[in-house]
Amino acid sequence: MTKDQKKFYITTPIYYVNDKPHIGTAYTTIAADVLARLHRQLGEEVFFLTGTDEHGAKIAAAAETAGKKPQEFVDEISAKFSLAWDQLGIAPDKFIRTTDQEHISAVEKFLNQLKDSGKIYEGEYQGLYCVGHEAFIKESELVNGVCPDHKTKPQLLKEQNWFFKLSEYQSFLQEQITNRDFDIQPEARKNEVLSFIKQGLEDIAISRPNVKWGIPLPWDKNQTVYVWVEALFNYCSAIGYGQDDENFKKFWPADVQLMGKDIIKFHCVIWPALLTAIGEKIPKKVFAHGFFTVAGEKMSKSLGNVIDPNDWVAGYGADAVRYFLLREVPFGQDGDVSEDKLKVRFNGDLANGLGNLFSRTTNMIEKYLDGQIDNFYKSPKDLSEASEALYNLDFAHGLVKIWEEVAWANQLIDKAKPWELYKTDPGKVKELLLNLAALLLDIALKLSPVMPETANKIRSTLEGGDIKKAKPLFLKI
Ligand code: MSP
């Protein structure tokens, strides 16, 4: 990293390996990949982290149900995540697994530091534990005696635990969030966190005596560290905490932590407090996106409507899935997705829109210019409104802006009628086609963080490729 080169550290949650990837977990990871690619395009030194969360009672139970040893079970499912991301064109700098020895060593070091900080103590806790959430749940949150999200009855636990003095961080957190040193977006999520903090923070148990599938506390081997505390620390262990200080210093704190709105309390309350206790900086920004429903219904295993991203990639290609998810629902809001909706966008925006513009332009270049566009003008562009929107995580708006240009260019061709104009003014047709080629290249540049494969095809065809061999970008389905 040169002196003035900016660094950009972006993370996704690490996903539970009790189940394979779905369209919701793909969403966060695609968004992070887009930001990583965009910041790289701007010359920043980027570190993009994703991975899998493999310890705890929930995973141990899933392994047992599958009749497998925990390690064997997590190896299999973690590989499915890694493969699914690969299929979606997602290229993280690191895919962390919490069963990695490096992570385990970093967590041990972190726990020792936490103990030295004087912010933890031993005590007894009695409460209702929801294994689905891997968290204690209040009686008042139950609906008909069950967790409303997981539809399961929580366990009543009475345990000896080690506690973290979260209650001491109330005013610190309020201050950091209000003055935006710790920026929580969108605004509604920030307000949600602030009102939660205002109700008063209680100390939290950070260890579990009866969960064997986890990392033992270095000073009390009868307890394993609470899986959320362990998991949150992945953001530090992945960049070398306790092992590669130089790299850790280079990238910490995280610039953007992406996640779904369901897990903001862990990331916006517990996480910054733990970091502060051990004297580390807190992340700069958390952005929480909304939740998908599928054709109007909550996505759930019992309804059988969970969408496997691999199925959509097989039918429509990675770029189309990336485009669809980011275009269909404004980032930060809840929204509905379905294969029908994907098909509409594929045939409309992609095949008839961008695909048509590309085919018409390359066909005409072949027909009227014999495929020759050697020295056409390539305009260097500042950060356009579209790229700026992507930069600010307003993906849908950025894509709308790009597609306005696509529509404009298609209309320009309709109006100019090059096939007639060629008979009277071939010079004008040449000018038009060179401009269209330049516009397509500009579109490819802006689009490449979202649709890297498509952008490459456009670029390699127009820049020195053989236009006569240009293939359609999208075939209507
Ligand atoms: N393991 C924890 C995170 C630990 S991070 C230190 C976890 N894992 S998870 O597998 O349950 O993944 C949760 C994430 O998946 C959510 O934050 C969200 O990003 C995404 N989604 C899960 N279901 C979703 C939808 N239906 N819609 C959109 N995103 C959803 O929590």
CA of 396 to the centre of ligand 1 (A): 21
Is 150 annotated as belonging to a binding site? yes
- Token pair of 166, please? 């979260």
Q: Are 398 and 387 in contact (CB under 8 A)?
A: yes
Give the orientation angle of helix 318-328 with respect to helix 395-416, to 10 degrees.
110
The neighbour count for residue 427, using CB atoms within 10 Å, is: 9
Ligand 1 nearest-atom number relative to CA 293: 26
Ligand 1 nearest-atom number relative to CA 53: 1
Q: Which residues of the chain have pLDDT under 70?
A: 1-3, 375-383
Q: Is the CB of 27 under 6 A from ligand 1?
A: yes
Q: Are 249 and 278 in contact (CB under 8 A)?
A: no
At 298 the pLDDT is: 87
Quickly list DSSP for 313-382. HHHH-HHHHHHHHHHHS-TTS-EEE-HHHHHHHIIIIIIIIIIHHHHHHHHHHHHHHTT--TT-------
Q: Is the CB of 259 under 6 A from ligand 1?
A: yes
For ligand 1, atom 24, name the residue with the nearest CA: 24
CA of 81 to the centre of ligand 1 (A): 13
Whole-angstrom Cα distance, residue 287 to residue 182? 11
For residue 464, count CB atoms less than 10 angstroms from its CB and return exposed for 0-12, middle for 13-18, buried for 19 or more: exposed
Q: Are 248 and 240 in contact (CB under 8 A)?
A: yes
Q: Is the CB of 263 under 6 A from ligand 1?
A: yes
Is 268 annotated as belonging to a binding site? no
pLDDT tens profile 309-340: 999 999 999 999 999 999 999 999 999 999 99
Pocket probe mutation, ligand 1, options 261, 263, 274, 302, max atoms within 8 Å of Cβ: 263
Question: Which residues does 101 contact at the CB level (< 8 Å), separation at least 6?
Answer: none
pLDDT tens profile 325-381: 999 999 999 999 999 999 999 999 999 999 999 999 999 999 999 998 876 656 555
Q: Is the CB of 238 under 6 A from ligand 1?
A: no
At 469 the pLDDT is: 81
Which of 470, 466, 405, 411 is closest to 438 using CA atoms? 405
The DSSP 8-state label assigned to residue 307 in this structure reads P
Domain at 338-469, CATH homologous superfamily:
Isoleucyl-tRNA Synthetase; Domain 1 (1.10.730.10)
Q: Are 18 and 210 in contact (CB under 8 A)?
A: no
Ligand 1 nearest-atom number relative to CA 263: 17
What is the separation, in whole angstroms, between the first and last Cα of the chain? 45
At 197 the pLDDT is: 98
For ligand 1, atom 12, name the residue with the nearest CA: 15
Q: Is the CB of 264 under 6 A from ligand 1?
A: no
At 356 the pLDDT is: 98
At 388 the pLDDT is: 95
Q: Is the CB of 14 under 6 A from ligand 1?
A: yes
For ligand 1, atom 8, name the residue with the nearest CA: 15
Question: Which residues does 257 contact at the CB level (< 8 Å), separation at least 6?
Answer: 10, 11, 235, 267, 283, 285, 286, 287
Whole-angstrom Cα distance, residue 95 to residue 80? 12
For residue 253, whether the previous peptide bond is cis, meaning omega lies within 30 degrees of 0, is yes
Q: Is the CB of 474 under 6 A from ligand 1?
A: no
Quickly list DSSP for 250-306. HHPSPSEEEEEGGGHHIIIIIHHHHHHHTTPPPPSEEEEE--EEETTEE--TTTT-P
